[in-house]
Amino acid sequence: MSTQSPRSTSPIALVTGGSRGIGRSTALALADRGVDVIVTYASRIAEANEVAAAVRGKGGRAAALRLDVGAASTFDAFAAEVREALQREWSRDSFDYLVNNAGVGGYAPFAETSEETFDQLVAVHFKGPFFLTQRLLPLIADGGSIVNMSTGLARYVYPGFSAYAAAKGAVEVLTRALAVELGPRRITVNVVAPGGIVTDFGGGVMRDPGLQKAVGAETPLGRVSEPDDVAGVVASLLAPESRWVTGQRVEVTGGYRL
């Protein structure tokens, strides 16, 4: 008797950093749209398994794999694990959507930014997405989509985020380059730039009521962002209706500091 799910032909998305925050919300938003999900986690295996279980609860298929986005030397082994999971769970040799979401916070005034901090931020936010996408490219189906994660800080400036914002700025340039290079395979590549999000990212700084009030006062829509605000945009960029959108930067900040 076959154990195949009725949704075995659903599109498959791989969402890095899918155990919490924007990644978690993105995985669930995609599941609501009939997309199966592979989520990655750095250390939060329990939370990642909960997300996978939630996707299954919505009628989809899911897998959770460990990935350190800052360790490019592990990407070949990770790609092999993805290939194995695709065969095991979906009887496929490719997936459709890649969301490069995983990241770490990093605050330090320019004059105090150490080389170690700089290297970590670049490794996670630029080198990681660059080489992870490269390694996974043979597994991404023609006609698929990639969404990279940037930040509103690539447009407006807060002191203390020079290295973080610069790494994200590099991701935005990379996005345009990939849109051109992957166009012949009909793979769209876009970048989403969130503002301050109420999550535990960066030590949960945006959970501070005072900071939320200050950010809301400079935001036309009058509040700080929630993970679901960003997840919906990511999911829409991966939808078939967005097949003619590529190389674009979509800022999701509620209009902060326009």
Q: Which of 41, 97, 164, 256 is flagged as catalytic?
A: 164
Tokens linked to 150: 């940037």
Concerning whether 164 is annotated as a catalytic residue, the answer is: yes
CA atoms within 13 A on the CB side of 240: 5
pLDDT tens track for 183-198 = 999 999 999 999 877 6
The pLDDT > 70 percentage for the chain reads: 92
Does the structure show a pLDDT above 70 at 203?
no
Which of 144-148, 201-205, 212-216 shows the lowest mean pLDDT across its residues?
A: 201-205
- Can you give 88-100 as a three-state secondary structure string? HHHCCCCEEEEEE
pLDDT-based confidence at 225, cuts 50/70/90?
confident
CA atoms within 13 A on the CB side of 9: 1
Q: Where are the alpha helices (DSSP H) in 33-161?
A: 45-57, 75-85, 115-122, 128-136
- Position with higher pLDDT, 180 vs 2: 180
Does the structure show a pLDDT above 80 at 125?
yes
Whole-prediction pTM: 0.91
Instruction: Quickly list DSSP for 6-20.
Output: TTTTS-EEEETTTTS
CATH annotation of 12-252: 3.40.50.720
Tokens linked to 11: 């599109």
Position 202 scores a pLDDT of: 53
User: Domain coordinates of the chain in residue numbers?
Assistant: 12-252
Position 1 scores a pLDDT of: 35
